Structure 1
Amino acid sequence: ADGYAHEGKTITQMMEEDHPDSFQGYFHNVEHAETLGAEYTRLVSARIVGTITPAAMADIPTTPQQKREWLVRIFDAIRDFTNVTNRPRSNRVNTVQHENTHVVRVRQMKGAATELVAHKILNLAINAQTGNVGMPAWVHRKSWTYKRFPTFAERMEHILHGLRVNKSIAHTFISVDPSRRWVANPQSELKSNMTGNDEKKSLINDGREARQNQ
C-alpha cells in the first residue's frame, strides 16, 4: 500500500519494535490487524503443541457420539448443585445470608444456554489438550499457566469437578466481556471501576485498623 512503512515485516518483528508512545500504522485495517493478531497468538500455541505426545491426544473425542457423551457430562456438572463451595453473600445491614450471586445466575440458566456453554467448554478442552491454548502472546505470562495431562479424560475429570463445586467457573461463560461492556457505556464503567477500587481500598484499611486494635 502507498505510504506503508512496514511492508515485509512479520508480526513478530513488529512486536519486537519499541515504539510504545507513537502510532506507527502497522496495520492497514481491522481485518489486517485481526489476521496478524491471530498469527501471533498461534506462535504461543506452537511452542506448546510441539511438546504434546500422540498418546495424550489418543482419546480426544472425534465422533458425534463421543462428543455427545462428554457434552452430557459437562451439562450435568453445570447443573449439579449438591456440593457447591461458593460462599453465600451477606447483607451488611442485617447479616442475612443469601445464595451466592454466581450460583443463582447459573441455576437460572435455560437448558439451551447450558448446552451452548457445554459445547464451548468441550471445544476449548479439546484445543487445550492439543496445546492450542489461544492465549495472545502479549498477555502477561504470570496470569495463566498450562498443565499437560496424559489423557483427555484426565483433563476432563478435573474440568467436571470444577464445574460441579464452583459455579463461578460456569458463570464466566455467561458473563459480559469486560471490553464490550466498557465500550457500551464507558462513563458508567469508569465510575464503577473507580468505586470498586475505592471500596477495596476502604476494606483493606478497615482490616488493617482492626488488626492494629486487637
Structure 2
Amino acid sequence: MRAGFKAVAILALLLTGGCAKDFNTTNTARYHDAGTRAEAVRDFPQAEEYYGRALVWAGTEHVPASLLSLTMYNLGRMKGHACKFDEARELLLTSLALEESTSGPSSAQVSRRLFELGRLYYDRRLYAESVPYYAQGVAMVRRLKLEADEPVTFTEALQDYANALREAGDRRLADSLSGEITARRNQEVGTRPRYLIARYSPSCRNGHMLVYNGRA
C-alpha cells in the first residue's frame, strides 16, 4: 500500500514538474512573440515591455536556456533603444555568456551577440570599447564561414569595425579592411539586407533612435 502511495506521489510530482515546465515556457514564448511583433513595426517601447514580461517567466524554473538567452538578447537591444545603456550592456553580456555555455563558445548566435555589443558601444561613439567585440565577431564569422548567410549585414559590421579601428588609432588595420569592404559592396549592389538594423542613438535625447538603412 505504501509502495503504491509513493508511486502515485512520485508520478504527481513528475506531472506537476512537466506542467510547470510547459506553462513557464509557453508564457515566456507568448510574451517574446508579442515583443517580436511590436519590434517588427518599430514599436520599441511596447517591445521592451513584452520582452521584459517574457524575461520574468524565462527566469523561472524549467525554461530552456536558449529561450532565456534569446529573451535577454532582445530585451537588451530594446533597453539600448530606450537609452538605458547600462541595463542593455548587462543583459547583452549575460546573454552572451549564457549562449557560450549552451550553443558553444563559437556559433552564429554567439557572433550575433558580439556584434550587438560592438554596435551598442560604436553607436555611442565609444569606439575603442567596441573594437574587441567587432574583432571577435568578425573572426568568428570567418572561422565558421558564415559570411554568405547575411552578406550585407556582415559588410556593415566590417565597415563599423574599420571605422572603430580608425577612430581608436589603428589606421593600419583599418586600412587593411578597406579593399575587402569595397569589393563586397560592389558585389552587393542591388542586394537588400535580410533585416534592417535599428541603430542606437548616440545622444539619446528623449529616447530618440536612428533606424539603420543598410549603409554606413
TM-score by length of 1: 0.22
TM-score by length of 2: 0.22
Greater helix percent: which structure? 2
Higher RCO (CA 8 Å, separation ≥ 6 residues): 1
Structure number with larger C-alpha Rg = 1
